[in-house]
Structure 1
């Protein structure tokens, strides 16, 4: 009898496509949507070619506090390149970056962040940039958890990505983060290949170096893939309107509006960071990952809101039982 019970429980666990999600309304909404758009004969059936799912990255697929992880990478690049730039010691935003002055960096705003990225990335080939990113993500560690950053992806969202792909969806990352930064490791971590990663990007230039063709990153920005830039990036790179979209902040609001504006069944989800013990708790007042207007719209339009504390059994893969 005991053996039969153990076997039954094991079979149930094997059949559960989202084992790290607690049973409840949120999980049911996701599974119900996937069932109705993939079941032949369903009035909401969507052919596989149109099953497009888009996900924000920072705060949706991995942690984004205390600052966006890519910014840690940029700061490390500033420090590594500082010996060749003595003028940075007295010039903002480099002075604050070298001193670890987060208030000073915050004061420089988006303009300062773009200046830092341009100074540390411009003139580099895409291959060299990818090598630097991969070296960094394999060694750099989060200041609070001391885990490498790629260990701070959300186990429930990894399961969701897999579940969608198993049901004929094509999964894309659509993020305000750097496109080349994410493309360097997204396939190994999320199972999302480079051609399905859309992010903010710099202009590229083709040239020959030592007789070899290379693409060189330039200082000029080609696309800021955030807020209203996300629907633009989706149209530019995918050419189809998604039927499933997940984000976590006001920066994702327009993407969710775009995905839910078409005919037929549509799904919009937000990850609400409510777990200060296992991760972080923040929303309307946070300078990173602000969730204010999008949360109000989610309530008004019936979007699915994931309560991290209530809906997720575990946060990170290392916590799996």
Structure 2
């Protein structure tokens, strides 16, 4: 990060301040550079390091120049592009699905973990751990076609409200990260989501919200099978896990579905550590970016002891290797887009 701060300062002294600078664009660099590409970021070493890196690797003639074909940027979703408290948003979706399907399953009233969902007993639900959450996902995410599930997700997002903010879940995306996605794409990077969340849960809305096409989403998945129903081909979703895109699964998924090692990776938890390590091993100059949730007033403050989005080993490794760490409270002028209208 220190290297890119020095580079940033030299770039500023060359370009000057208060103007837009037009450049040639034969190799994918931005044709018009704004003096403030990240307006929701406060001035400081984090923002400076990002800008310095992008300028360095997209400037033809730089020793660290990266061809456009290799400018792969991967982003975790939960806790990195939108909030993840008090529980993963997909879990709220699954819980609402349990309640909607409950009339068809009277046994759930006395069967855990479904009983705790129906009674809104989050504390008991969380005691069932990963196994219980997977059971809920299997019960609510399978048994329909891919098209049917997409509609269910869209309908839920159109009406569901976050319990703390009473806003749509897609209102709780991070404005500074939206700007970062745009900034990278403006400079020839191809942006991907690499998330532990369900791929079919994310695909229906990510393009509209993040500008990331659904075919640039890697996530956890359940098995599907091809079938002919009433003379029409369908993909049926089965109650069985296919792939878990978390921790060591993230580099595996990146290699399987992208086929190129990222040069830029961003996450917020230990579940993203292996993705950042994989990116750090790239022969090209790379950038590893962790988001540290430090703002209890505007969002949440949590790290090493959190049951959701724990940042412990990753924070230590970031400090050891000089990776860039966003301090949400200090580095961001605003957290959510809705603050721009206040």
Q: What TM bracket, shorter-length normalisation?
A: over 0.9
Matched, 1:134 2:151: no
**Aligned-residue offset at 1:14:** 5.2
Counterpart check, 1:87 vs 2:107 = yes
Q: Residues 298, 318 of structure 1: CA spacing in aligned structure 2 closer, same or farther, 3 A cutoff? A: same
Matches within 5 A, 1:238-257: 238-257=258-277
CA distances 1:167-189 after superposition (whole Å, capped 9, x unpaired):
00000000000000000100000
1:181 aligns with 2:201: yes
Aligned partner of 1:285 in structure 2 is 305
1:10 offset after TM fit, Å? 9.2
1:52-91 counterparts in 2 under 5 A?
Answer: 52-91=72-111
Report the 3-state secondary structure (helix = DSSP H, G, I; strand = E; otherwise coil) of the residue aligned with 1:218.
strand
- Given that 2:18 and 2:35 are in contact with CA atoms closer than 8 Å, whether structure 1 keeps it comes out as no
- Paired residues, what number? 314
Query: Which runs of 5 or more structure 1 residues have no equivalent in the other structure?
Result: 1-7
Shift of residue 256, structure 1, vs aligned partner? 0.3
TM-score (norm 2): 0.90
**1:40 corresponds to:** 60
State the shift of 1:110 in Å.
1.1
CA distance in 1, matches of 2:313, 2:239: 32
Structure 1 runs of 4+ aligned residues shifted over 2 Å read 8-15
1:117 deviates by: 1.1
| Partners of 2:318 and 2:324 within 8 A in 1 | yes
Displacement of 1:200 in angstroms is 0.3
| Counterpart in the other structure of 1:221 | 241
Residue aligning to 2:217 = 197
How many angstroms does 1:263 deviate by? 1.1
Residues 137-157 of structure 1: CA deviation (Å, up to 9, x unaligned):
111000111010000000000
Deviation sequence 1:59-95 (CA, Å, 0-9, x none): 0000000000000000000000000000111111111
> What is the root-mean-square deviation of aligned Cα atoms in Å?
1.4
